[in-house]
Amino acid sequence: MSNSRLKSISNTLKESGLDALALNPSPSLLYATGLHFHLMERPVLALFAADGRIALVLPELEVAKLSNLSYELKAFPYNEEPTTWGGVFKEAVEFLGLDGKKIGVEPLAMRIVEYRFLESAALEASFPDATEAIASLRIVKDEQEIASMRKAAEIAQNALEATLPMIKIGVSEKEIASELVMQLLKHGSESPFPFQPIVSGGPNGANPHASPSERKLQEGDLLVIDWGANSNDYVSDITRTFAIGEIDDEYRKIHEIVQAANAAGRAAAKPGLPASVVDDAARKVVDDSGYGKYFNHRTGHGIGMEGHEAPYMRAGNDRILEVGMAFTVEPGIYLPNRNGVRVEDDMVITEGGAESLSTLPREIRVLG
């Protein structure tokens, strides 16, 4: 973690009219501090003041993580007696002089337990939504971040290639998912994964977020595998669809349509254009084919320390794409109770357009 990130946080808070930012264990806290904390029954909260000072409330057992920091931070550790925790939060708030001030929070990450302690410690403060301020800090990736994402894509792809030989008729979705998880770890993925792999065959593939089941693969299935890896706290998110034995002509057709939509979305991504153009380009291919009603989600989402973050590739999103923004392009067609197709790649905006960090063949491959 570099001191430049802390300076950026301070500048962003001032520009946003916020006096401070409150973060509990989350990718944003990791981004800001380089410190790994997990959500547990003991609260953890970092307070970043606009003047650059930082206070961190944490359990005593976590204090060792603060050794050898390259920046200044005032720790407020607490013991195992919960009745004392509120007083420690109040000490941290008083240290930064935040009562009565605007303390930004991240609604999608902030837990009630940390929020209630903070609220009680700063009774006169307000807690505005800091989602946009945080997004502005994290949305443009530097070379090191992109390198980590490229490595995460490489790990994920190698893990899938090592898994493919065991995929055949009669093998269950859960068996495939278990093998893929093992291969992700063997090929270098760190924990946690961005999400648990989605492995869905036949009618289960018509559910974009299906969980692996005991269903065994059958002749004529399409098999959707959506998976990712973690490298140096940055992730990948890739999807490929396979044919199990001989498939119907319509299923081969919808794969060709989705593959073309993926290519159109990737080609449309350029700096200076709104994020919506990616969705428009991919969706037009599917709409023109007559399968538009079966493409029922946005074309993509940002990616970085999280599998889903800004910017979002959806209709009407006028956020301008900038060099260094990273996102997925993942059109799909889902035929209820029959089969589904999705082809997904991880992209990063470059000076001349966009580069795909994922490079696995997108053409349908026959397995089993």
Domain limits, the chain: 3-138, 143-367
| 205 Cβ contact list (under 8 Å, min separation 6) | 221, 222, 223, 224, 241, 334, 339, 340, 341
How confident is the model at residue 4, as a pLDDT? 87
CA distance 161 to 153: 12
Which long-range CB contacts under 8 A does 82-86 form with residues at least 24 apart? 85/43, 85/117, 86/117, 86/120, 86/121
How confident is the model at residue 105, as a pLDDT? 98
pTM: 0.95
How confident is the model at residue 3, as a pLDDT? 80
How confident is the model at residue 135, as a pLDDT? 96
**Closest alpha carbon to 26 in 107, 122, 96:** 107
Ranges of residues in the chain whose predicted pLDDT is under 50: none
Dihedral angle sign, alpha carbons of residues 230, 231, 233, 238: negative
Q: Is the distance from CB of 199 to CB of 328 less than 8 angstroms?
A: no
CA distance 245 to 238: 23
CA distance 47 to 89: 10
**Helix %, strand %, coil % of the chain (to 5):** 40, 25, 40
CATH class of 3-138: alpha beta
- b (16+ CB within 10 A) / e for 21-60: bbbbbbbbbbbbbebebeeeebbbbbbbbbeebbbbbbbe
How confident is the model at residue 1, as a pLDDT? 56
Helix/strand/coil for 95: helix
> Per residue in 134-156, pLDDT tens?
999 999 999 999 999 999 999 99
| φ and ψ of 319, to 5 deg | -65, 130
- 222-227 and 198-201: which strand pairing? antiparallel
| CATH homologous superfamily, domain 143-367 | Creatinase/methionine aminopeptidase superfamily (3.90.230.10)
Tokens of 346: 């991880």
How confident is the model at residue 76, as a pLDDT? 98
Tokens of 59: 């359990």
How confident is the model at residue 147, as a pLDDT? 98
How confident is the model at residue 34, as a pLDDT? 95
